[in-house]
Amino acid sequence: MTTAPRLPTAAEILDLAQGFGMTLTEADADSFRGLMVGSMASYARLDELAEPKLPVRYPRLPGHRPGPQENPLNAWYWKCEIRGAATGPLAGKKIAVKDNICVAGVPMMNGSRVLEGYVPDVDATVVTRILDAGGTIVGKAACEDLCFSAGSHTCATGPIRNPHSPQHSAGGSSGGSAALVAAGEVEMALGGDQGGSIRTPSGWCGVYGLKPTWGLVPMTGGMPISYSVDHCGPICDSVENVARLLAVIAGPDPHDPRTVGARVGDFVGALGQPAKGLRIAALKEGFGHETGNPLTPDTGKKVRLALSKLEDAGAAVEEVSIPLHLDGPHIWTGIILEGAAEMMIKGYALGNNWAGYYTTSLQEAFARGWRSRPDDVSETVKLVLLLGEYMHRNYHNRYHAKAQNLRVLLRRAYDEVLARYDVIAMPTLPFPATKIPAPDCSRENYVDLALNMQQNTCPFDASGHPAFTVPCGKVAGLPVGLMLVGKHFDEATLIRAGHAFERLGDWKKT
């Protein structure tokens, strides 16, 4: 039996008023308390009503937490085996699910101590779609603490290691997903991307990762960071598998208002189409970040060599300039810091005031965890909360709002180029994977290595354009990625271009 919410005392009302700068007397507090009785009756009635639940259609056992011998990269959080439909486009495929996505009956901690012990009671929409398509879900891929890191060292269960060099980062926040694909343990995985978290680990691990157009793939049943930059998408061992997985998970979902305008393309039909005729814009600014963490020369050379191969195969490649691209990270910062603080942390995992499905069990578990153990979140999460709340209190949402307005100009700048070209191209990341920091490293080093590589990835979370990282070579034994950006809901062209490049030769020998 549930317990109805308690009517606040007069003392509690006075305390609330003081926090808002109001001046109330005890008589005022008693008056307001009486006025609250009717609303509290509505809350009591809500407790008596049964809420709808997302479907759980396929039987499963809870699985197990793998030990070091079966988890050498620390890329698994949990192993299980959930078999979907007997037939379908994903029949015979093994898929790992990023551990910020609910799988009913299977533990989920989203890389964070404050959520450890939570077991979802629903399957996320993308999970149901995979199982309906015949896929087999074989476990939860480890990820960064609440997904707020693009390195792979903030995960509460320990750093996730790069299959190409275990001393190096796998990237984040979907590091487990990319590492498992790169290691050959699964063919497909789900990732999430709010600043580059599909493309960063895919680029550093040498696999194929596609951040779809914002709103193409539903986040229902997943734990977001910030509504307006949340994306879910495929990380796979081939372009063909990216196309097949995306075709299954994409499309409108009545539970997720982000997807109301989703347009699904013929992703599988794009496979095998030639590079000839493609118009590719090489973004000058994507090769030319001069401050902060600049592009290393060897990385730039590998990406330009990849573009020359596409040109030799019949694509037209021309350099273009989009000066606002260099301000993309600043616009993204204005959006995500307050957005994450308000929705993910203060909003207890899901926030409020959006007309979709709320996984209430996740909200309650996260609220209990982080309110009772705030010191247990990572240094990156602490930074987000502290700075996001500071900006909110002192500047009253001004900079978040301005960044949201500026994203319109950022999107327009890319769209103007995409009106003349099919694809914008640039390095996914400015350098190959960095080393995992020592456990006793400084906070400054810890945070820098979590966030220092996103200057080309995060602008497209703000603009919402689809972006696809394709491995194109190695530098010092570590993979380098070519990022292809397309028109909204034109993932098919990115798949065409990526597959055309994949067929030009083995990137590992480049």
Q: Single out the catalytic residue among 152, 169, 173, 228.
A: 173
**What end-to-end distance do the CA atoms of the chain give, in Å?**
64
Contact residues for 498 (Cβ-Cβ < 8 A; gap 6+): 208, 239, 242, 468, 470, 484
Largest Cα separation within the chain, whole Å, is: 82
| Residue 450 structure tokens | 């979590």
- Rg of the chain on CA atoms, in Å: 23
Q: Specify whether 173 is catalytic.
A: yes
Contact residues for 20 (Cβ-Cβ < 8 A; gap 6+): none
C-alpha of 152 from chain center:
14
Q: Single out the catalytic residue among 98, 211, 309, 474.
A: 98
| Residue 217 structure tokens | 């793939």
Query: Three-state secondary structure along 256-297?
Result: CHHHCCCCCCCCCCCCCCCCCCCEEEEECHHHCCCCCCCCCH
Pairing of strands 188-193, 423-427: unpaired
Q: Specify whether 197 is catalytic.
A: yes
Residue 425's SS3 state is strand
What is the residue whose two structure tokens read 């990732």?
Answer: 191
What phi and psi values does residue 478 have, to the nearest 5 degrees? -115, 140
| Amino acid symbol at 41 | A
Q: What is the spatial distance between Cα 65 and Cα 79, in angstroms, rounded to a whole number?
A: 6
Q: Which alpha helices (H) appear in 313-378, and where do they start and end?
A: 328-340, 360-372
Q: Specify whether 42 is catalytic.
A: no
Cβ(119)–Cβ(108) below 8 Å: yes
Cα angle: 217, vertex 281, 190; to 5 degrees: 25
Q: Single out the catalytic residue among 112, 169, 174, 197.
A: 197
What is the residue whose two structure tokens read 């030319």?
Answer: 288
Beta bridge partners of 191: 233
Closest alpha carbon to 454 in 290, 332, 371: 332
Does residue 482 come out as left (phi exceeding 0), alpha (psi in the -120 to 50 range) or beta? beta
| Residue 192 structure tokens | 């999430």
H or E segment and range at residue 70: none
Expressed in percent and rounded to 5, the helix, strand and coil fractions of the chain are: 40, 15, 45
Q: Which residues are catalytic?
A: 98, 173, 197
